[in-house]
Amino acid sequence: MMDSFPLDTTSTSHLCIYMSTLITSYYMSYSYDSILSLTLSPILFGWSLYGITTIGHDLLHVPTKQNRRLAFICMDMTLFNSDEWIQIHNKDHHCDLNGENDIMKLKGTNLLTEWYHLLEISKQSTLIHHVYRIPFYIVLFQLRWYQIISIYMTVLFCIAYFTYITHSNPVPSKYAVGTIQHNLDHIWDIFPESWFITLLFGGINAHATHHCFPTCNRSEFIKKSRYLSHKYSNYRVIHTYKQLYTLYSTRFKQSSNNHSDTSDTSTN
């Protein structure tokens, strides 16, 4: 494995697309007054910002000095602090999936409570963390106030429905926390072999695969997800958009019952 992990071919192509979309959408949002530049461009900016942070997420799973420097640019200077992320994601989330301190999942029985919970991940931010983001804030606040709101709403939308959704509808697990079987009882893969969906979701779509192999890069997702599919009977994967709709539409039932029957979704 290369020392520059995870900037493999797939991750590099994704990062290039995120960066070019970020720059183009910002320019459109700032320079033009058309309907598209006032509405669609901020959404694209928010999505690309989310995408860049997912590259930082990948880097911090192998937190070498080089990766920490790159992650600082991708995360600390925009949305998240790397040290906090390692604690709440690598430790609280990965090491104790669905445990007491794991906040990286959808909560609530309706949209209002669900979105309120999304703010929980940023509660521990300190002033020094925002100091690092001053250059980003200076650039961002050149835009109109409603464009800025749209950008942050898009980021939250991506976190909720591209990331946390993969933890919806877990099944009671008899396996020990940290085992592959326990991970598979709590997480879904969503179109893990689709390059486009992997780009759109920031690599989080192959989330069961990621939890089982947290240091594998995006180019390895297909191989690893096929291995899980052949090796483990409780591997849960979304193959069709009908199954994806069922996963989204049953998430509130899961929140209220802590368990939901997803018979309309595929388990292999």
Task: Residue 48: count other Cβ atoms within 10 Å of its Cβ.
Answer: 23
pLDDT of residue 118: 81
- Domain of 17? 9-164
> Do 191 and 72 share a domain, yes or no?
no
pLDDT digits 0-9 by tens, 43-100: 999 999 999 999 999 999 999 999 999 999 999 999 999 999 999 999 999 999 988 8
pLDDT of residue 5: 47
Query: Percent of the chain having pLDDT more than 90?
Result: 74
pLDDT of residue 123: 64
pLDDT of residue 253: 73
pLDDT digits 0-9 by tens, 227-247: 999 999 999 999 999 999 999
Contact 89/238 with Cβ under 8 angstroms?
no
- Split into its structural domains, the chain has a count of 2
pLDDT digits 0-9 by tens, 132-164: 999 999 999 999 999 999 999 999 999 999 999
d(CA 20, CA 199): 13
Instruction: Tell whether 113 is covered by a domain.
Output: yes
> Do 107 and 208 share a domain, yes or no?
no
> Do 42 and 143 share a domain, yes or no?
yes
